[in-house]
Amino acid sequence: MAKAVPLVAPSAELPGIVPGTLNLHAGILLQLGSAALVWWLIERSRFGFQVRALGANPHAARTAGMRVGRLQVTITFLSGGPEPAPRACP
């Protein structure tokens, strides 16, 4: 029978932070940091204000001088950014 190939190379695995039954690794810290960054970006930045305004009323956002099309494309690209992160964690 053929030898099984690991899904993630051992050199690419994230280091563990809580050994034992929980088996948590550094990926949890990366995800918590990402969540905090996204919260700050949406709630405290000018970009977040524009995103919320666009979501509430695109016509009003356009009337207020926001580049609605450009903002929609930017949001679309940013929404796909963190997707591969959990796949790097075994």
pLDDT one-digit tens code per residue, 11-64: 777 777 777 767 777 788 888 998 999 899 999 999 999 999 999 999 999 999
Instruction: Record the pTM.
Output: 0.65
What is the structure's pLDDT at 61?
A: 97
The CA distance from 40 to 27, in Å, is 20
Instruction: Give the bridge partners for 4, in sequence order.
Output: none
Give the distance between the most distant pair of CA atoms in the chain.
67
Give yes or no for residue 4 having a pLDDT over 90.
Answer: no
Give yes or no for residue 82 having a pLDDT over 90.
Answer: no
Is 71:50 a contact under the CB 8 Å cutoff? yes
Q: Alpha carbon of 65 to those of 9, 31, 59, 70, 80: distances in Å?
A: 49, 34, 10, 12, 26
Residue with tokens 């949890």: 28
